[in-house]
């Protein structure tokens, strides 16, 4: 843990050199002038506010949004208003006094100083910076954020986030103090302090306006396009093996992608006691079961969700194992922990179970009760439990089918079964995807390439500038983007650059059905099994196969929505 804290701190230090910091750098520079008359109190306030804000909102923003329904963009806009307010305070002296007085209540947390109002004003700016800084996180903190999304915030994750924030705060503090000292050491600057303050006030206001209008992302994009190597390698030290091992312990999971197929436990004489299945969910194909009543049998717990393509590709193996070993004492229990709201519907799940031909017991885990009991983090995830109720082996993601089946065979023999088949006949599936899973709701969307910032829960007109970078998605036309899905209006379009052989999309009709036209590189071609003649008929809440290419490669997907009666949840690739 000490090693991870050190690297988190160092990652925060180098963040100041990252391209994503450029849009807020003028704010930091402005504070060196704005707090000049408050001495060290003002920059100390900025740093204090930043550390508190960044740590708190990184860990708890998802929970706050979920409980209160407040849009995360609303909090960002509040931060922008505060930044603009301090810009006006530099520009208008009377406004400066009023603004600092308004935040004087924050001075109760100040270190001993003769200017507590300056500290309070600095804290307000720092609190705002904490909200605006989040996009600059690196691999270490991104791993922690993935836990925060599911509410799995621990003392370890708190200290990691705090160490990261402290590392980022030090160069920020140095810039502010350095700027203030520069003012005092150069006579010309000292004589023109008032004019310099007003100039920085204007810069601060323009910066706040730019962030509000999404210019900050355009600045960052321009810099990266002009200087492609700028910032490259700043956080590569976060990926070294010792750090990844530390993250695995904190997260309780393997830090590689979910399809890596890395086992958590080797098969050993005695494993970890398996948590009991948490009652409360509806059971399909069986009456409710408990691990206690299944003692003496080998049990495979499979965490899955029916619209997940990675889960779907494991189902043929599970069906085969169930038929092959059920008479030898194998029990497979599918724990359905839904990724999307529509997957919580019992009828939708029952239809999916029938469509996939699953005959083994399935239990709904809509509240993630059993998921949390197992401290699980993946779809799909398999936990193999022996006759004594101990977890002897786990496997996350796809792959490793022969290894998993050998474990099942070995554990069945431990029960004394003599009719255990010994052959292995698992089909091989190869994935060519280099584009990661891409969500379309604002809670988890990434690599968004439309020129406008997403306006949550409202119909808004979007556009896109070409060319798009690899693995980016863009909306064109009128869209309503909610926390979980994006809903195109009539005539809207979607563009995405990808590298894979197959493209899948989870969709849900809002009426009886909806039509979606599919194009690859601007041409109606390479249709998947659900895109008959280049048109997908969306008539159920499920995963649709849009494209099947003859060979993997880089392409641009274009979708057109003529009726606007569909909701889009997430892309996956194969």
Percent of the chain scoring above 70 in pLDDT:
66
- Which residue pairs from 33-36 have beta carbons closer than 8 angstroms and sit at least 24 positions apart in sequence? 33/90, 33/179, 33/180, 33/183, 33/193, 33/196, 33/197, 33/200, 34/86, 34/89, 34/90, 34/197, 34/200, 34/201, 34/204, 35/118, 35/121, 35/122, 35/176, 35/180, 36/180, 36/183, 36/193, 36/197
pLDDT of residue 12 exceeding 60: yes
pLDDT of residue 9 exceeding 70: yes
CB-hemisphere CA count at 13 Å for 377? 22
Helices 72-91 and 116-133 cross at an angle (nearest 10°) of 140
Domain 253-414 -> CATH class = alpha beta
Instruction: Indicate the SS3 state at residue 432.
Output: coil
Q: Can you give the pLDDT at residue 487? A: 94
Quote the CA–CA distance of 348 and 363 in Å, as a whole number: 13
More confident residue, 498 or 16: 498
Query: Quick one: which of 99, 102, 98, 104 has its CA closest to 117?
Result: 104
Q: Can you give the pLDDT at residue 254? A: 41
Give the chain's mean pLDDT: 75
Taking a C-beta distance cutoff of 8 angstroms, is the pair 295, 389 a contact? Answer: yes
Quote the CA–CA distance of 56 and 249 in Å, as a whole number: 22
Q: Using one digit for the tens of pLDDT, what is the confidence trace for 128-161?
A: 777 666 545 444 454 444 444 445 566 767 777 7
More confident residue, 268 or 275: 275
State which of 19-23, 142-146, 336-340, 377-381 shows the largest mean pLDDT: 336-340
Q: Can you give the pLDDT at residue 516? A: 94
Window from 34-38, 293-297, 334-338, 424-428 with minimum mean pLDDT: 34-38
CATH 2.60.120.260 in the chain is located at: 438-573
State both tokens at 330: 């194998």
Q: Using one digit for the tens of pLDDT, what is the confidence trace for 326-376?
A: 888 899 999 998 877 778 888 888 988 888 889 999 999 988 888 888 878
Query: Quick one: which of 53, 14, 24 has its CA closest to 45?
Result: 53
pLDDT of residue 90 exceeding 80: no
Cα 350 from chain centre: 29
More confident residue, 155 or 531: 531
Quote the CA–CA distance of 505 and 524 in Å, as a whole number: 17
Percent of the chain scoring above 90 in pLDDT:
17
Q: Can you give the pLDDT at residue 472? A: 92
More confident residue, 191 or 138: 191
Q: Can you give the pLDDT at residue 116? A: 43
pLDDT of residue 244 exceeding 90: no
More confident residue, 417 or 83: 417
Taking a C-beta distance cutoff of 8 angstroms, is the pair 352, 542 a contact? Answer: yes
Q: Give me the CATH topology for the region 438-573.
A: Jelly Rolls (2.60.120)
CATH 3.40.30.10 in the chain is located at: 253-414
* pTM, full prediction: 0.46
Question: With bands split at pLDDT 50, 70 and 90, how would you rate the model's confidence at 84?
Answer: confident
Query: What average pLDDT does range 530-541 have in this prediction?
Result: 88
State both tokens at 312: 């779907």
**Cα dihedral across residues 492, 496, 502, 505: positive or negative:** negative
Q: Can you give the pLDDT at residue 238? A: 44
Query: Quick one: which of 556, 562, 440 has its CA closest to 493?
Result: 562
């Amino acid at each position: 843990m000490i090693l991870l804290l050190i690297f988190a701190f160092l990652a925060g230090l180098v963040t100041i050199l990252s391209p994503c910091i450029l849009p807020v750098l003028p704010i930091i520079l402005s504070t060196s002038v704005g707090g000049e008359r408050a001495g060290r109190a003002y920059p100390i306030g900025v740093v204090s506010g930043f550390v508190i804000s960044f740590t708190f909102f990184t860990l708890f923003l998802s929970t706050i949004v979920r409980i209160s329904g407040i849009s995360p963009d609303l909090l960002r806009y509040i931060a922008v208003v505060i930044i603009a307010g301090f810009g006006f305070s530099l520009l208008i002296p009377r406004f400066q006094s009023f603004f600092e007085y308004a935040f004087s209540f924050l001075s109760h947390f100040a270190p001993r100083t003769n200017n507590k109002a300056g500290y309070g004003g600095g804290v307000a700016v720092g609190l705002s910076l904490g909200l605006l800084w989040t996009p600059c996180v690196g691999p270490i903190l991104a791993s922690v954020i993935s836990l925060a999304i599911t509410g799995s915030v621990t003392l370890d994750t708190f200290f990691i986030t705090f160490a990261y924030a402290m590392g980022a705060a030090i160069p920020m503090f140095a810039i502010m103090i350095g700027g203030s000292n520069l003012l005092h050491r150069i006579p010309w600057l000292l004589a023109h302090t008032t004019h310099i303050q007003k100039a920085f006030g204007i810069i601060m206001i323009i910066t706040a306006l730019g962030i509000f209008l999404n210019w900050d992302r355009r600045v960052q994009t321009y810099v990266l396009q002009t200087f492609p190597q700028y910032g490259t390698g700043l956080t590569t030290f976060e990926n070294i093996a010792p750090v990844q091992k530390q993250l695995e312990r904190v997260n309780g999971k393997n830090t590689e992608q979910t399809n890596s197929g890395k086992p958590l436990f080797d098969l050993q004489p005695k494993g970890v006691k398996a948590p009991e299945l948490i009652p409360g969910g509806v059971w399909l194909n069986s009456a409710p079961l408990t691990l206690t009543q299944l003692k003496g049998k080998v049990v495979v717990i499979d965490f899955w969700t029916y619209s997940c393509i990675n889960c779907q590709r494991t189902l043929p193996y599970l069906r085969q194992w169930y038929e092959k070993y059920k008479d030898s004492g194998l029990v497979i229990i599918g724990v359905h922990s839904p990724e999307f709201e529509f997957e919580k519907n019992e009828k939708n799940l029952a239809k999916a179970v029938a469509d996939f031909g699953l005959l083994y017991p399935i239990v709904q885990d809509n509240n993630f009760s059993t998921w949390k009991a197992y401290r699980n983090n993946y779809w799909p995830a398999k936990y193999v439990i022996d006759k004594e109720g101990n977890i002897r082996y786990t496997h996350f993601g796809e792959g490793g089918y022969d290894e998993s089946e050998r474990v099942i065979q070995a554990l069945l023999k431990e029960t004394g079964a003599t009719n255990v088949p010994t052959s292995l006949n698992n089909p091989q599936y190869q994935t060519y995807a280099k584009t990661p899973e891409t969500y379309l709701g604002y809670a988890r969307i990434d690599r968004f390439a439309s020129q406008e910032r997403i306006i949550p829960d409202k119909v808004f007109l979007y556009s896109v500038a070409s060319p798009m970078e690899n693995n980016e998605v863009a909306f064109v036309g009128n869209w309503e983007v909610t926390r979980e899905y994006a809903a195109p209006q009539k005539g809207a379009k979607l563009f995405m650059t990808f590298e894979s052989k197959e493209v899948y999309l989870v969709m849900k009709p809002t009426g009886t059905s909806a039509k979606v036209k599919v194009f690859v590189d601007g041409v109606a071609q390479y249709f998947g099994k659900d895109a008959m003649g280049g048109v997908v008929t969306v008539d159920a809440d499920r995963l649709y196969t849009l494209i099947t290419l003859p060979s993997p490669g880089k392409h641009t997907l274009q979708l057109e929505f003529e009726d606007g009666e569909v909701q889009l949840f997430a892309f996956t690739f194969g």
